[in-house]
Structure 1
Amino acid sequence: MPTPTSPIGVFDSGIGGLSVLQALREVLPGERFVYLADSGNAPYGERGDAFVQARSARITDWMRNQHDVKALVIACNTATAAAIDSLRDGNPGLPIIGVEPALKPAALYSKTHKVGVIATQGTVSSHRFATLQAAHSAHTQFVVQACAGLARAIEDSTLPSISASQNATQIRALCAQYTSAMGTFGTAPGEIDTLVLGCTHYVFAADALRSLVGPGVTLVDTGTPVARRTYSLLHATGMLRKQDVEMGTAAEACQLFTTGDVSALRHAAEQWLGLPTTCASSAAIA
């Protein structure tokens, strides 16, 4: 049975969920984390619901059986849309927190009442996304764009076999292709003044996106709200780790696993989170 000293589990189809892990570590600095990048099967956004549901269930079992996690964060919009209901049904008593495109805060931020949303095809095609969009469309026009290939390009950016400059060029080209298809960005009436990053991978393309849409456009992601929700749930159930409990080494406090190329995860963890490469290991999850 999990205790307050048990870790929080976090998983994504790949390295994109590291953006959520980063926010979790900022909001919950005294907690231990186990992160799983299912990079051997990424990206989920280009696979069917049945596959994503099966993988999510298998990963949840692994998190519970191997690491006795006290909460689970699904750091993937596609997996949240496809699998969070079935995971909650199958794991009563385990707090499961998902991510979804931040349409509600974006609608509140927008002054032009025109909001852009970029996400994977799996996310924008889901019933959960349709319900979310309908709930916040009364006073806001959402311009939704599926971005095939962008999550994969960001995922590949940490592979040592791919030139950094070549990959950066590819990411920027994809961002340019999709933002140009959405219309005009800016703060004038009728322009898109807020852009929702509806995939956790896209946070790591924020610089490219910012250069394309301009400094006046607000970029909105979900990392911090998810971290705050996780804190609230653990606090309410008395499962927050006490600050005076020994954390151990950085590699023990934050364990990273991948079903793909471990060198890519190590590079991403060091580059984006400042974690030692010893944090990352391979995981075989059939």
Structure 2
Amino acid sequence: MIKEQPDHDNLPDKAPVLVFDSGIGGLTVLRELRVWLPDRRFVYVADDAGFPYGDWEEEALCDRIIKLFDRLLAEHKPAIVVIACNTASTLVLDDLRAAFPFMKFVGTVPAIKPAAERTRSGLVSVLATPGTVRRAYTHDLIQSFASKCHVKLVGANLLATLAEAHIRGERIDEAQVLEQITPCFVEEDGRRTDIVVLACTHYPFLANVFRKIAPWPVDWLDPAEAIARRTISLLQESEGQGENGKMRENSDHPHDVAEFTSGKPDFAIRRLLQGFGLQFDHIDG
């Protein structure tokens, strides 16, 4: 069903940017967005009741996300929505745009194009969830932008969960992490993989672990800055505003909130939210 367009004339100044993810990986994107949009309010929504998305059947997950956004858009009336989740973006972004044509959505898709432009060896790997690896969207990106490269798709079935544990401050088994990332490292005719695309927003939280245990140095490509720039571009189009400068140190965001569909993030997550300057709220998922 096509939703009615909200009355933007009655919205408060600088309506918030809504950042959505299946868990807390999207905080890497929120962090970058704040650098470029220091005066903007943010609402961070984690569908932790549905995490991990990789375990869902595609049709059921699509239905869940559409229904969730029907409520979120009415409640928060955001200026723009950032889907800070590769799995959700590659699955449901087109459906969200069709269901809510009045809203601008910025997706998070594997950074295959910039990887193809930067690689010197021609060997690129995409480290993603199994769902992102399967999607036709991902394969179309390779065909469109990296046809002259050897691109290896690596579906890591445990890495998002390991990242969530790491973010909580739990000890993780580095041998298990190494097992997940090792397929990314390819040697062929004297050449080696030189770029690994981080195609899940949870993975940048493990970047230091990756660098420590990787078989050889590579460029771990985080798409957060590109997402932030695209968000700014769309806001400029809709609001006619100039680009904001870099964020001041210790900049405060007292009106930013985080909502979890479970309504019950654990103590470690609550502390993490405080560190990001987010006040906890919840929705019923």
> Is the pair's TM-score, using the shorter chain for normalization, greater than 0.5?
yes
Match of 1:250 in 2: 253
Please tell me the residue identity of whatever aligns with 1:279.
Answer: Q
Cα distance, 1:174 vs structure 2:
3.0
Distance 1:185 1:230, change over 3 A: farther
Local SS of the residue matching 1:251:
coil
Cα deviation digits, residues 35-70 of structure 1 (max 9, x gap): 101111101122121122122212322221111111
Is the aligned partner of 1:151 residue 2:155?
Answer: no
Report how far residue 236 of structure 1 moved.
1.2
Given that 2:185 and 2:215 are in contact with CA atoms closer than 8 Å, whether structure 1 keeps it comes out as: no
After superposition, the Cα gap between the structure-2 partners of 1:5 and 1:242, relative to the gap in structure 1 and judged at 3 Å, is farther
Superposition deviation, residue 241 in structure 1: 9.3
Instruction: Give the helix-richer structure, 1 or 2.
Output: 1
1:140 aligns with 2:142: no
Counterpart for residue 194 of structure 1: 195
Residue of structure 2 equivalent to 1:111:
120
SS at match of 1:200: coil
**Contact map agreement 2:115 2:124 (CA 8 A) in 1:** yes
Which amino acid is the alignment partner of residue 72 of structure 1?
Answer: V
Gapped regions of structure 2 (runs ≥ 5): 1-6, 245-250
- The residue aligned with 2:282 is 282
Distance 1:229 1:183 in 2: 30
* 2:66 pairs with one of 43, 52, 57: 57
Residue correspondences, number: 268
Determine if contact 1:250/1:279 at 8 Å carries over to the other structure: no
TM-score by length of 2: 0.86
Q: Is the alpha carbon distance of 1:177 and 1:204 closer, same or farther for their aligned partners in structure 2, counting shifts above 3 Å?
A: same
Partner of 1:164: 170
Partner of 1:23 in structure 2? 32
Partner deviation per Cα, 1:250-283 (whole Å, 9 max, x = no partner): 331x21111234234323334xxx334x612232
**AA partner of residue 270 (structure 2):** R
2:100 to 79, 82, 91: 91
Q: Secondary structure at the match of 2:192?
A: coil
TM (norm. structure 1) is: 0.86
Per the alignment, do residues 237 and 189 of structure 1 end up closer, same or farther by CA in structure 2, a change over 3 Å counting?
A: farther
Q: Percent identity?
A: 30
Equivalent of 1:173 in 169, 172, 175: 175
Structure 1 position 142, deviation (Å): 0.7
Structure 1 gaps, min length 5: none
Distance 2:76 2:45 in 1: 11
Equivalent residue number for residue 211 of structure 2 = 210
CA distance in 1, matches of 2:146, 2:190: 17
